[in-house]
Amino acid sequence: MTGTETGAIDEESANQRPSRTAFFSKPMDTQIHSYQVNHLKQLESEAIFILRETAAQFERPALLFSGGKDSIVMAHLARKAFHPARLPFPLLHVDTGHNFPETLEYRDRFVADLRAQLIVARVQDSIDRGTAREEKGPNASRNAIQTVTLLEAIEENRFDACLGGGRRDEEKARAKERFFSHRDDFGQWDPKNQRPELWNIFNGRKHHGEHFRVFPLSNWTEMDVWQYIKAEDIPLPNLYFSHERDVFKRAGAWLAVTEFVTVGAEETVDHRRVRFRTIGDATCTGAVESTAATLDEIIQEVATARQTERGTRADDKRSETAMEDRKKEGYF
**Which of 73, 81, 123, 132 is the binder for other proteins (CB under 8 A)?**
81
The candidate with the shortest Cα–Cα distance to 225, out of 10, 327, 77, is 77
Contact call for residue 321 and other proteins (CB under 8 A): yes
Neighbouring-strand partners of residue 214: 163, 180
d(CA 301, CA 292): 7
131-190 residues in contact with other proteins (CB under 8 A) are: 168-169, 172-176
Q: How far is the CB of 250 from other proteins (least distance, A)?
A: 16
**Which of 53, 152, 160, 315 is the binder for other proteins (CB under 8 A)?**
53
> DSSP character for 70?
H
3-state secondary structure of 114: helix
Q: 143 to each of 129, 157, 210, 279, how far by Cα in Å?
A: 18, 22, 23, 12
Q: Which residues contact 73 (CB under 8 A, 6 or more apart)?
A: 165, 217, 220, 225, 228, 229, 234
Q: Which is nearer to other proteins, 97 or 235 (CB)?
A: 235
Q: How far is the CB of 2 from other proteins (least distance, A)?
A: 9
Q: Which is nearer to other proteins, 17 or 109 (CB)?
A: 17
Neighbouring-strand partners of residue 211: 183
Asked if 67 contacts 93 with a C-beta cutoff of 8 angstroms, the reply is: yes
Q: Which is nearer to other proteins, 37 or 269 (CB)?
A: 37
Contact call for residue 3 and other proteins (CB under 8 A): yes
**Site stretch for other proteins (CB under 8 A), options 65-73, 91-99, 117-125, 193-201:** 193-201
Contact call for residue 195 and other proteins (CB under 8 A): yes
Q: Which is nearer to other proteins, 65 or 212 (CB)?
A: 212
Q: What are phi and psi of 118, to 5 degrees?
A: -115, 130
Pairing of strands 161-163, 243-250: unpaired
**Which of 97, 191, 209, 235 is the binder for other proteins (CB under 8 A)?**
191
**Site stretch for other proteins (CB under 8 A), options 97-105, 137-145, 285-293, 319-327:** 319-327
212-271 residues in contact with other proteins (CB under 8 A) are: 218-219, 221, 223-224, 227, 230-231
d(CA 203, CA 56): 12
Q: Which is nearer to other proteins, 106 or 228 (CB)?
A: 228
Q: How far is the CB of 327 from other proteins (least distance, A)?
A: 10
Q: Which is nearer to other proteins, 1 or 265 (CB)?
A: 1
